[in-house]
């Protein structure tokens, strides 16, 4: 009965302040929508950035040979440290925490031809595990380089999706032969289109991948351009990197503490940086949305102050008849929460509608797909509840502290 009385009183007060109530509701709606949408967009941007970064590979380290920066065991500084294909086997054998490693040969000025279509692109020689580490997924009906191709030095090639378009257009590529530097290669697979916003030797969509053994036999390269390795556990990346310096330092006679002897790009470091960066970015967006919601909360507080002014005599009568301060306090806080709840619900539903329509604008490439998660919803509810409580508490306390005798005189 008490709740019914609260609602009845609330509706009567709102009817007497229609315009003020609508403006206040609009403030709450807009503030709620701002919090939810900004958090969802921030989440979408972060997810899109991670997806594009993982186009390069997830949790991998790219390794290059370098030059020594300090003398070691009679060898002078400035000595070049080249990497060989055999080093990949050495690292995998010596480092238990290393999940996989692949050498990578690379040749930029490679002439490729199919019928009358000819291009000059980058060809790389790799091991089969390279595809798993670099998130290279073949289109349906094709495959990546496998162990048999490597062992038998087969003349097979896996091509990027853009390279396929340049050579074949709309024609099917799998099972056809292309001429690479006057040597026929069988196309066994085509890269499934992927987002890739970072690279160290060009986008995968433009590359041709062949077995490392075939590449070495064809061009006679003694040294690899780089190596890709991935720890079994991302948390052991630093340990694995240190062991790489130790193993190769022992072989090539350089100080394992000489970080310039080898060059590494640890993609997990960039991933950590981006995680913290986008966390700060999302907190900033939430702060903006919260500020907007606080403005709506001020409107709620103002209207409740007006309601207290108009109902001063009524409060005096209730208190003179025995109503306790807690009863009066709860009544006004309840009315505040009703306004906040209605505005918050409409604002949340509006946000959901905007996100449903978001794909129509075609901005996924730049902003990703906004995502409303349970965390987003809980944060929005928490902020909304806090704003509602603060907005209603002070007018409610003022009403509860009225002196019944003085209230009846007003």
Under a CB-based contact definition with an 8 Å cutoff, are residues 101 and 228 in contact?
Answer: yes
Per-residue confidence (pLDDT) for residue 118, from 0 to 100: 95
- Burial grade of 3 (CB within 10 A; 0-12, 13-18, 19 or more): exposed
pLDDT mean over 90-113: 95
Under a CB-based contact definition with an 8 Å cutoff, are residues 376 and 40 in contact?
Answer: yes
Per-residue confidence (pLDDT) for residue 220, from 0 to 100: 92
Q: Pick the more confident residue, 2 or 339.
A: 339
Give dist(CA 137, CA 140) in Å, integer.
Answer: 9
For the segment 110-131, what is each residue's pLDDT rounded down to a tens digit?
A: 999 999 999 999 999 999 999 9
Report the 10 Å Cβ neighbour count for 32: 29
Running DSSP on this structure, what letter comes out for residue 106? Answer: E
Per-residue confidence (pLDDT) for residue 294, from 0 to 100: 75
Work out the percent of the chain whose per-residue pLDDT is above 70. Answer: 77
Q: Pick the more confident residue, 291 or 300.
A: 291
Q: How confident is the model at residue 400 (pLDDT cuts 50, 70, 90)?
A: low
Helix (H) or strand (E) run with residue 112 in it: strand 98-114
Residue identified by tokens 């009544």 is 331
Per-residue confidence (pLDDT) for residue 169, from 0 to 100: 93
pLDDT mean over 18-43: 76
Q: Pick the more confident residue, 392 or 254.
A: 254
Q: How confident is the model at residue 344 (pLDDT cuts 50, 70, 90)?
A: confident
Give dist(CA 254, CA 259) in Å, integer.
Answer: 10
Q: How many helices (H) and strands (E) does the chain have?
A: 14, 9
Q: How confident is the model at residue 339 (pLDDT cuts 50, 70, 90)?
A: confident
For the segment 137-150, what is each residue's pLDDT rounded down to a tens digit?
A: 999 999 999 999 99
Per-residue confidence (pLDDT) for residue 158, from 0 to 100: 98
Per-residue confidence (pLDDT) for residue 12, from 0 to 100: 61
pLDDT mean over 366-376: 72
Integer distance in angstroms from the first to the last C-alpha of the chain?
A: 29
| 93-107, 160-174, 242-256, 303-317: range with lowest mean pLDDT | 303-317
Chain centroid to Cα 85, Å, comes to 34
Instruction: Supply 285's token pair.
Output: 């967006």
Per-residue confidence (pLDDT) for residue 304, from 0 to 100: 64
Residues across the chain: 410
Give dist(CA 171, CA 159) in Å, integer.
Answer: 14
pLDDT mean over 316-328: 64
pLDDT mean over 240-255: 95
Per-residue confidence (pLDDT) for residue 324, from 0 to 100: 67
Most confident of 15-24, 31-40, 385-394: 31-40
Domain range list for the chain: 2-53+272-409, 61-265
Q: How confident is the model at residue 195 (pLDDT cuts 50, 70, 90)?
A: confident
Per-residue confidence (pLDDT) for residue 166, from 0 to 100: 95
Q: Pick the more confident residue, 240 or 56.
A: 240
Q: Pick the more confident residue, 10 or 195.
A: 195
pLDDT mean over 181-205: 90
pLDDT at 207 over 90: yes
Instruction: Name the average pLDDT for the chain.
Output: 83
pLDDT at 310 over 90: no
pLDDT at 205 over 60: yes
Give dist(CA 392, CA 394) in Å, integer.
Answer: 6
| 8-12, 172-176, 178-182, 211-215: range with lowest mean pLDDT | 8-12
Chain centroid to Cα 297, Å, comes to 32
Give the C-alpha distances (Å, rounded to integers) separating 287 from 38, 82, 191, 314, 352.
10, 51, 42, 39, 20
Q: How confident is the model at residue 4 (pLDDT cuts 50, 70, 90)?
A: low
DSSP characters over 211-247 = EHHHHHHHH--SS-SEEEEEESSGGGHHHHHHHHHHH
């Amino acid at each position: 009965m008490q709740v019914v009385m609260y609602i009845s009183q609330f509706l009567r007060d709102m009817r007497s302040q229609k315009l003020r109530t609508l403006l206040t509701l609009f403030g709450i709606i807009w503030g709620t929508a701002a919090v939810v949408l900004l958090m969802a967009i921030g989440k979408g941007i972060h997810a899109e950035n991670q997806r594009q970064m993982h186009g390069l590979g997830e949790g991998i380290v790219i390794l290059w040979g370098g030059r020594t920066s300090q003398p070691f065991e009679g060898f002078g500084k400035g000595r070049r440290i080249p990497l060989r294909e055999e080093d990949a086997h050495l690292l995998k054998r010596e480092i238990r925490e290393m999940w996989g490693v692949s050498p990578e040969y690379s040749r930029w000025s490679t002439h490729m031809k199919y019928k009358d279509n000819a291009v000059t692109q980058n060809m790389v020689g790799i091991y089969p595990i390279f595809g798993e580490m670099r998130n290279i997924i073949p289109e349906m009906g094709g495959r990546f380089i496998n162990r048999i191709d490597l062992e038998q030095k087969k003349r097979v090639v896996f091509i990027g999706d853009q390279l396929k378009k340049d050579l074949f257009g709309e024609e099917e590529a799998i099972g056809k032969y292309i001429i690479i530097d006057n040597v026929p290669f069988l196309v066994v697979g085509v890269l499934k289109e992927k987002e890739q916003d970072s690279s160290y030797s060009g986008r995968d969509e433009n590359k041709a991948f062949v077995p490392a053994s075939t590449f070495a036999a064809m061009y006679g390269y003694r040294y690899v351009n780089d190596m890709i390795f991935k720890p079994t556990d991302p948390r052991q990346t630093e340990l694995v990197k240190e062991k790489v310096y130790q193993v190769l330092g022992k072989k090539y006679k350089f100080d394992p503490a000489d970080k310039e002897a080898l060059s590494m790009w640890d993609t997990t470091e960039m991933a950590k940086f981006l995680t913290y960066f986008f966390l700060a970015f999302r907190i900033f967006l939430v702060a903006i949305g919260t500020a907007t919601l606080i403005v709506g909360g001020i409107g709620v507080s103002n209207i409740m102050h007006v309601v207290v002014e108009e109902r001063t005599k009524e409060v005096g009568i209730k208190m003179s008849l025995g109503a306790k301060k807690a009863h009066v306090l709860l009544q006004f806080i309840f009315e505040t929460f009703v306004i906040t709840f209605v505005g918050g619900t409409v604002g949340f539903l509006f946000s959901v509608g905007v996100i449903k329509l978001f794909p129509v604008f075609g901005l996924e490439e730049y902003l990703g797909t906004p995502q409303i998660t349970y965390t987003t919803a809980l944060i929005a509810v928490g902020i909304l509840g806090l704003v509602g409580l603060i907005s209603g508490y002070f007018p409610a306390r003022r009403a509860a502290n009225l002196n019944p005798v003085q209230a009846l005189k007003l």
